[in-house]
């Protein structure tokens, strides 16, 4: 490329890469795949190699991205947190191996092969068996201190087993299992909140949440992959990790030592298939020279270690025709545009459809029916449209406007300011939304009617038997028997399950109603605060906001729900069917702890932390989030953080063990 052209191209790539780094690390909403990112980066590197005088300090080739958000204290890493070079094929891996063998002057290398977990890198510091600091990768040099949030991870033990060195650092990846991710999204859907795009985004968003209690509710996990001993080191990388696992730390069991590059390639090929059976997403394999002496000999380039490389599982891109765009209505009323494609073969499966997410994405791609488009697919990842072949567009192709009315019920769509998604506001009568409400009602945490199930909700709705949740209680066995493939036994079972649900407590019924923003916890708070549905339905904004953790948004949604005559009728019918619409008085068991604020921390032997919290509240006490001068006492379990203990001591807050606490309450 000629110099003037190179100057503009370099500027363009740099600005694109800066933007994509920001989207990936800070917003956790990447717009392009890792492969596309790497391709751009490689192009930039090649241009800079050709014109080295054009390299600037802030060029993305000289930096790593940053995930620092500004809400946390930042701290410098003891050693920089580097990224890895990427390869996308076995050929490049063989070249990597050849370079290493040449540099070390040996014939065969022992590699540690590990699954590359797709999450968020974290550095943990342990002292005397306790986690004292957790820092995100940040820009590689310094990161956010998120210790309290990381402490909430259930797979990290509050105290390490004997044998752990007094002081060491260990690094790993925080991630979310697919199941946990799906559950979280179901809960968000029920609360009418926007859904997360993928587990990586949630893991990253969760860690950057200011309130660790919120973080504790997220099903996050961690896999550790790099040990740095300050006062105890091991001759190999794998031994360090093996020891860490003995101390009680979560080290993935999928790692394997492979002698020679052929064994490494066997490992990749095995996992390229078997990864679909894992409970979490992995986007590749990290291959590391196992011997620490050899690692030291190989050293680092400016950005990455020479002794390790990431192999990314393949993605494939193809071109095809966009035949049309259809629109799906989700359970929450969210409208998703879907590209209907001329079928195309990608990584062994035929792709016919791909999500276009929302109208912003359609605009960004400037996608039009009749266009030729690039489709990409990588393993289990849903196929994605990454661009339009603009050269192939017929100049007369009209722009693609977003639909204005719901394809299911024809209600005009709405889009809240600042939101990407369009919604159908017809919550009560739009078919997929009604079925969604029915499914939510029978859910495990709501009325828990296991004999019905999601599919049955759909069937009952289509058969005109159940149009709202009160209709469940009007069903008879003969109604069910009219449905296809339904025997007497199943009919009896379904009716019994529905009848049994009438015994569910008020807070569950309240949650089951699916009032926007009223999740499980909020339902409990409202149920206990107002006692029955009558009082709750009459509560004004002020009374609602006076309840702990209820803000304006929830208050408004509750008021709007009860104002609606259809809700009133529904509740009357549920009441006539004998559902429990009154909180059981057993909640308040006494007032032994009235006026006391209690902080609970650590792991307990007899009761779970949640049970202890419930006991405090049932006996008139309040739960405090952090130790302060107002704390009456600290209920301390094992593994409680040293900083909390120190604070309690300074403020003269007494410490109670679990048994001492239980002794305060009547039997
Ligand atoms: S080693 C110098 N091992 O991938 C060592 N990284 O592209 C650098 N990752 O920032 C990291 N699994 O977030 C390593 N088994 C593994 C990994 C892993 C996932 C992530 C990590 C790192 C990125 C590098």
| Pocket probe mutation, ligand 1, options 38, 80, 112, 173, max atoms within 8 Å of Cβ | 173
Please give the distance, rounded to the nearest whole angstrom, from the Cα atom of residue 6 to the centre of ligand 1.
32
Please give the distance, rounded to the nearest whole angstrom, from the Cα atom of residue 98 to the centre of ligand 1.
22
Residues across the chain: 667
Q: Indicate the Cα dihedral angle 75, 78, 79, 81, nearest 10°.
A: -30
Atom 2, ligand 1: which residue's CA is nearest?
A: 82
pLDDT of amino acid 580 = 96
Comparing 150-154, 477-481, 574-578, the range with the smallest average pLDDT is 150-154
Tens of pLDDT along 212-236?
A: 777 877 889 999 999 998 777 899 9
Strand order in the sheet with 622-623: 622-623, 597-601, 633-636, 655-656
Q: Is there a contact between 140 and 83 (Cβ–Cβ < 8 Å)? A: yes
Q: What is the mean pLDDT of residues 297-305?
A: 89
pLDDT of amino acid 29 = 66
Portion of the chain with pLDDT greater than 70, in percent: 94
Indicate whether residue 221 lines ligand 1 (CB < 6 A). Answer: no
Dist. CA 85–CA 307, nearest whole Å: 10
Res. 632 pLDDT band, cuts 50 70 90: very high
Residue 471 confidence (pLDDT) above 60: yes
Calculate the alpha carbon distances from 395 to 163, 342, 371 in Å. Answer: 71, 21, 10
Comparing 14-18, 20-24, 413-417, 534-538, the range with the smallest average pLDDT is 20-24
DSSP string, 155-221: TS-SSPPTT--SEEEEEEEEEE-HHHHHHHHHHHHHTTPPPPS-HHHHHHHHHT-S-HHHHHHS-EE
Atom 17, ligand 1: which residue's CA is nearest?
A: 116
- For residue 41, give the 3-state DSSP assignment: helix
Nearest by Cα to 429 from 475, 402, 461: 461
Please give the distance, rounded to the nearest whole angstrom, from the Cα atom of residue 426 to the centre of ligand 1.
46
Nearest by Cα to 610 from 521, 481, 516: 521
Please enumerate in sequence order all residues whose Cβ is within 8 A of that of 514, keeping only pairs 6 or more positions apart, or say none.
190, 437, 440, 441
Nearest atom in ligand 1 to the alpha carbon of residue 252 is: 15
pLDDT of amino acid 449 = 95
Residue 586 confidence (pLDDT) above 70: no
258 or 647, greater pLDDT:
258
Res. 309 pLDDT band, cuts 50 70 90: very high
Nearest by Cα to 439 from 457, 465, 460: 457
Please give the distance, rounded to the nearest whole angstrom, from the Cα atom of residue 195 to the centre of ligand 1.
27
Atom 11, ligand 1: which residue's CA is nearest?
A: 83
Tens of pLDDT along 87-108?
A: 988 999 999 999 999 999 999 9
Dist. CA 408–CA 336, nearest whole Å: 13
Res. 157 pLDDT band, cuts 50 70 90: confident
- For the chain, the first-to-last Cα distance in angstroms comes to 83
Calculate the alpha carbon distances from 290 to 91, 172, 293, 294, 311 in Å. Answer: 21, 17, 9, 8, 16
Please give the distance, rounded to the nearest whole angstrom, from the Cα atom of residue 315 to the centre of ligand 1.
20
pLDDT of amino acid 481 = 94
Please enumerate in sequence order all residues whose Cβ is within 8 A of that of 453, keeping only pairs 6 or more positions apart, or say none.
442
Residue 460 confidence (pLDDT) above 90: yes
Comparing 372-376, 595-599, 643-647, the range with the smallest average pLDDT is 643-647
Tens of pLDDT along 546-568?
A: 887 788 989 999 999 999 999 99
Nearest by Cα to 195 from 205, 203, 187, 185: 185
Q: Is there a contact between 333 and 430 (Cβ–Cβ < 8 Å)? A: yes
159 or 479, greater pLDDT:
479
Indicate whether residue 25 lines ligand 1 (CB < 6 A). Answer: no
Res. 368 pLDDT band, cuts 50 70 90: very high
Sole residue written with tokens 């949640």: 610
Q: Is there a contact between 574 and 566 (Cβ–Cβ < 8 Å)? A: no
- Candidate list 42, 116, 210, 589, residue with the active-site label: 116
For residue 281, the 8-state DSSP code is -
pLDDT of amino acid 232 = 79
Please give the distance, rounded to the nearest whole angstrom, from the Cα atom of residue 653 to the centre of ligand 1.
42
Comparing 17-21, 282-286, 493-497, 576-580, the range with the smallest average pLDDT is 17-21
Res. 625 pLDDT band, cuts 50 70 90: confident
pLDDT of amino acid 11 = 87
Q: What is the mean pLDDT of residues 625-630?
A: 86
Q: What is the mean pLDDT of residues 272-281?
A: 85
Indicate whether residue 254 lines ligand 1 (CB < 6 A). Answer: no
Indicate whether residue 354 lines ligand 1 (CB < 6 A). Answer: no
Indicate whether residue 122 lines ligand 1 (CB < 6 A). Answer: no
Residue 67 confidence (pLDDT) above 70: no
Please give the distance, rounded to the nearest whole angstrom, from the Cα atom of residue 311 to the centre of ligand 1.
11
| Pocket probe mutation, ligand 1, options 84, 112, 224, 290, max atoms within 8 Å of Cβ | 84
Q: What is the mean pLDDT of residues 439-454?
A: 92
Dist. CA 89–CA 315, nearest whole Å: 11
Q: Is there a contact between 372 and 320 (Cβ–Cβ < 8 Å)? A: yes
Query: Residue 116 catalytic?
Result: yes
Dist. CA 224–CA 204, nearest whole Å: 16
pLDDT of amino acid 273 = 84
Nearest by Cα to 147 from 608, 627, 643: 643
Residue 145 confidence (pLDDT) above 90: yes
pLDDT of amino acid 478 = 95
pLDDT of amino acid 199 = 78
Dist. CA 4–CA 14, nearest whole Å: 16
Residue 70 confidence (pLDDT) above 60: no
Atom 21, ligand 1: which residue's CA is nearest?
A: 121
Mean pLDDT of the chain: 88
Res. 344 pLDDT band, cuts 50 70 90: very high
Dist. CA 633–CA 284, nearest whole Å: 49
Q: Is there a contact between 283 and 312 (Cβ–Cβ < 8 Å)? A: yes
Residue 191 confidence (pLDDT) above 70: no
Helix, strand, coil abundance in the chain, percent, nearest 5: 40, 20, 40
Number of other residues whose CB lies within 10 A of the CB of residue 592: 14
pLDDT of amino acid 22 = 62
Indicate whether residue 174 lines ligand 1 (CB < 6 A). Answer: no
DSSP string, 391-404: GG--TTPPP-PPPS
Calculate the alpha carbon distances from 439 to 15, 88, 457, 528, 644 in Å. Answer: 46, 42, 6, 25, 43
Residue 37 confidence (pLDDT) above 80: yes
Backbone angles phi, psi at 116, to 5 degrees: -85, 110
Q: Is residue 239 exposed (0-12), middle (13-18) or buried (19+ Cβ within 10 Å)?
A: middle
Indicate whether residue 173 lines ligand 1 (CB < 6 A). Answer: yes
Residue 426 confidence (pLDDT) above 60: yes
In the structure encoding, which two tokens stand for residue 588, read together? 């308040």
Q: Indicate the Cα dihedral angle 88, 205, 198, 521, nearest 10°.
A: 160
Res. 290 pLDDT band, cuts 50 70 90: very high
Tens of pLDDT along 2-24?
A: 888 888 889 888 888 877 776 66
State the helix-helix crossing angle for 261-274 and 90-104, rounded to 10 degrees: 150
Q: What is the pTM of this model?
A: 0.56
Nearest by Cα to 32 from 316, 339, 386: 386
Res. 361 pLDDT band, cuts 50 70 90: confident
Residue 110 confidence (pLDDT) above 90: yes
Calculate the alpha carbon distances from 585 to 403, 529, 559, 577, 618 in Å. Answer: 51, 12, 25, 21, 10
Nearest atom in ligand 1 to the alpha carbon of residue 119 is: 13
Residue 192 confidence (pLDDT) above 90: no
In the structure encoding, which two tokens stand for residue 601, read together? 């921390």
Across-strand partners of 599? 634
Buried/exposed code over 281-306 (b: 16+ C-beta within 10 A; e: otherwise): bbbbbbbbbbbbebbeebeeeeebbb
pLDDT of amino acid 447 = 96
Residue 171 confidence (pLDDT) above 90: yes
Please give the distance, rounded to the nearest whole angstrom, from the Cα atom of residue 286 to the centre of ligand 1.
7
DSSP string, 419-458: -S-EE---TTTSHHHHHHHHHHHHSTTTT--TTTHHHHHH
Indicate whether residue 170 lines ligand 1 (CB < 6 A). Answer: no
Res. 1 pLDDT band, cuts 50 70 90: confident
Q: What is the mean pLDDT of residues 625-632?
A: 87
Indicate whether residue 386 lines ligand 1 (CB < 6 A). Answer: no
Res. 513 pLDDT band, cuts 50 70 90: very high
pLDDT of amino acid 195 = 64
Res. 467 pLDDT band, cuts 50 70 90: very high
Going from the N-terminus, what domains does the chain have, and what CATH number goes with each? 3-63 (1.10.287.610), 74-312 (3.30.470.30), 315-424 (2.40.50.140), 431-503 (1.10.150.20), 506-576 (1.10.150.20), 597-663 (3.40.50.10190)
Residue 68 confidence (pLDDT) above 60: no
Res. 468 pLDDT band, cuts 50 70 90: very high
Dist. CA 352–CA 346, nearest whole Å: 10
Residue 58 confidence (pLDDT) above 90: no
HEC states along 449-472? CCCCHHHHHHHHHHCCCCCCHHHH
pLDDT of amino acid 315 = 77
């Amino acid at each position: 490329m000629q110099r003037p052209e190179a100057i503009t191209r370099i500027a363009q790539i740099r600005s694109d890469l800066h933007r994509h780094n920001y989207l990936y690390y800070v917003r956790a909403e990447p717009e392009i795949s890792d492969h596309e990112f790497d391709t751009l980066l490689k192009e930039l590197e090649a241009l800079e190699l050709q014109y080295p005088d054009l390299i600037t300090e802030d060029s993305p080739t000289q930096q790593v991205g940053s995930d620092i958000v500004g809400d946390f204290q930042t701290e410098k890493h003891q050693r920089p947190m580097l990224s890895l070079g990427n390869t996308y094929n076995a050929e490049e891996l063989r070249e990597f191996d050849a370079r290493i063998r040449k540099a070390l002057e040996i014939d065969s290398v022992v590699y540690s092969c590990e699954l590359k977990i797709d999450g968020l890198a974290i550095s943990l510091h342990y002292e005397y068996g306790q986690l004292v600091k957790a820092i995100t990768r940040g820009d590689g040099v310094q990161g956010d201190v998120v210790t309290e949030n990381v402490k909430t991870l259930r797979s990290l033990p509050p105290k390490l087993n004997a044998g752990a060195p007094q002081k060491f650092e260990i690094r790993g990846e925080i991630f979310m299992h697919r199941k946990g991710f799906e559950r979280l999204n179901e809960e968000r859907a029920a609360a009418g909140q926007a859904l997360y795009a993928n587990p990586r985004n949630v893991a990253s968003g969760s860690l950057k949440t200011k309130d660790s209690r919120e973080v504790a509710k997220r099903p996050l996990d961690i896999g550790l992959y790099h040990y740095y001993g300050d006062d105890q080191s091991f001759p190999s990388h794998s031994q360090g990790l093996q020891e860490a696992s003995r101390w009680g730390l979560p080290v993935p069991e999928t790692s394997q030592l492979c002698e020679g590059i052929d064994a490494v390639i066997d490992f990749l090929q095995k996992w390229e298939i078997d990864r679909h059976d894992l409970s979490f997403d992995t986007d590749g394999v990290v291959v590391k020279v196992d011997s620490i002496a050899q690692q030291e000999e190989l050293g680092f380039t400016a950005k990455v270690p020479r002794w390790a490389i990431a192999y990314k599982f393949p993605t494939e891109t193809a071109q095809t025709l966009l035949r049309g765009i259809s629109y799906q209505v989700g359970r929450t009323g969210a409208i998703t545009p879907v590209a209907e494609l001329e079928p195309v073969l990608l990584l062994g499966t035929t792709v016919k459809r791909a999500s276009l997410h929302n109208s912003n994405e359609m605009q960004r791609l400037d996608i039009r029916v009749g266009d030729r488009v690039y489709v990409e697919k990588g393993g289990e990842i849903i196929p994605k449209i990454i661009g339009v072949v603009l050269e192939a567009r017929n100049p007369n192709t009209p722009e693609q406007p977003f639909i204005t009315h719901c394809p299911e019920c024809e209600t005009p769509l709405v889009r809240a300011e600042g939101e990407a998604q369009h919604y159908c506001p017809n919550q009560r009568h739009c078919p997929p939304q009604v079925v969604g409400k029915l499914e939510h009602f029978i859910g495990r945490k709501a009325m828990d009617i296991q004999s019905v199930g999601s599919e049955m909700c759909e069937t009952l709705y289509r058969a005109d038997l159940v149009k709202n949740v009160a209709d469940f209680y009007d069903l008879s066995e003969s109604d069910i028997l009219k449905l296809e493939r339904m025997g007497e036994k199943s009919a009896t079972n379904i009716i019994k399950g529905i009848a049994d649900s009438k015994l569910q407590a008020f807070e569950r019924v309240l949650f089951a109603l699916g009032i926007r923003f009223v999740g499980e916890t909020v339902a409990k708070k409202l149920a206990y605060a107002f006692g029955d549905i009558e009082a709750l339905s009459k509560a004004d904004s002020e009374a609602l906001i006076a309840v702990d953790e209820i803000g304006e948004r929830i208050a408004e949604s509750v008021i709007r729900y009860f104002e609606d005559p259809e809700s009133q009728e529904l509740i009357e019918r549920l009441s006539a069917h004998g559902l429990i619409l009154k909180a059981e008085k057993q909640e308040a068991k006494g007032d032994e702890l009235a006026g006391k604020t209690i902080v609970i921390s650590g792991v307990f032997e007899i009761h779970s932390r949640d049970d202890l919290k419930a006991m405090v509240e049932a006996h008139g006490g309040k739960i405090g989030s952090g130790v302060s001068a107002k704390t009456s006492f600290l209920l301390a379990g094992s593994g409680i953080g040293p900083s909390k203990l120190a604070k309690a001591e300074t403020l003269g807050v007494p410490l109670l063990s679990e048994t001492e606490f239980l002794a305060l309450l009547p039997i």
